Amino acid sequence: MEVDKLENKKIAIIGIGNMGKALTYGLLRHRTISPSNLILSDPTLADLMHFKKSGINLSFDNKEAAKNADIIILAVKPQDIFFVLEEIRHVVSQYQLIISIAAGIDIKTIKSILGRKQPVVRVMPNLCAKVGESMSCWAKSKEVTRENTKIARAVLQTIGKEILLEDEGLLDRATAISGSGPAYVFYFIELFVKSAIELGIDKDMAENLVLQTLIGSVKLLEKSQENASILKQQVTSKGGTTEAAFDVFNSSDIDKTFIKAINAAYKRSKELRIKSLL
């Protein structure tokens, strides 16, 4: 982990909702980062009060938060980022690293609002950042130095795994897979639990069976030399119960529907990015 790179760095987080909180907790987990080097900014007192006793600096003023930070993390909704960038552009300098997690807002747009050659990193994390298990894909502007690349990596490693993409365009694809992905998994869990209840299993037990089956399967896949397709075959014996279930899956268009849904998310991600440029 590159987290030592963050020692003595001043970090501002603007927007303390789901992701801003996850990032703050991620940074706080590492003792090399002193809470007094963090400043959080959000218009809502209740969001800031989460960190009342943490020793972190809290503010309602984005300019105040941004002005002395080495790293400025923008964790507001995409529609709010334009306002925030306009607000902070006069206090930000080219020596500060901007990290944006706003979906669909590209690096070019951020730089053009700031109006200078700015080191900018654009990230697509996911909600699993809340438990330090995000899959964060990211891209950087050409102004991001080797040192700043290590710093961005260090920030993202505090919330999970990260992959630096060569091509920013790949972020739309990553958005459809890992950005939206936790929602697909939760949907699958909902369906799985519903099926168990239909079989007459009570809700608590259904949730337990499904959750542990999921955790076990993921751990097995992670530790195994085999891929998911081979492991699936290991559960499915000829003429058995699993095969009976797959006969039904295979006779429906479930695979086509899944691919279609992912493509719709990808298309929407591109549309939202284009809309933000207009």
List residues near ligand NAP by CB under 6 A. Answer: 14-20, 41-44, 47, 62, 75-78, 80, 83-84, 101-103, 124-127, 179
| Region for 75 from its dihedrals, namely left if φ exceeds 0, alpha if ψ lies in -120 to 50, beta otherwise | alpha
How far is Cα 105 from Cα 183, in angstroms, rounded to an integer? 21
Q: Which is closer to ligand NAP, CB of 124 or CB of 196? A: 124
154 phi/psi in degrees, rounded to 5: -60, -45
The CB-of-81 to ligand NAP minimum distance in angstroms stands at 7
- For residue 22, what are the contacts with CB-CB under 8 A and spacing of at least 6? 125, 127, 129, 130, 134, 159
Using CB positions, name the residue nearest to ligand NAP. 17
C-alpha span between 59 and 89 (Å, rounded): 18
Q: Using an 8 Å Cβ cutoff, are 16 and 75 in contact? A: yes
Judged by beta carbon, residue 121 or residue 206, the one nearer ligand NAP is 121
Cα 263 to Cα 142: distance, rounded to the nearest angstrom: 30
Give 19 or 156: the residue with its C-beta nearer to ligand NAP. 19
Instruction: Look up residue 66 and give its amino acid.
Output: A
Tell me the C-alpha distance between 114 and 107, whole Å: 11
Task: For ligand NAP, give the closer residue by CB, 15 or 119.
Answer: 15
Smallest distance from ligand NAP to CB 109, Å: 13
Shortest spacing between CB 213 and ligand NAP, in angstroms: 24
d(C-alpha 275, C-alpha 44), whole Å: 28
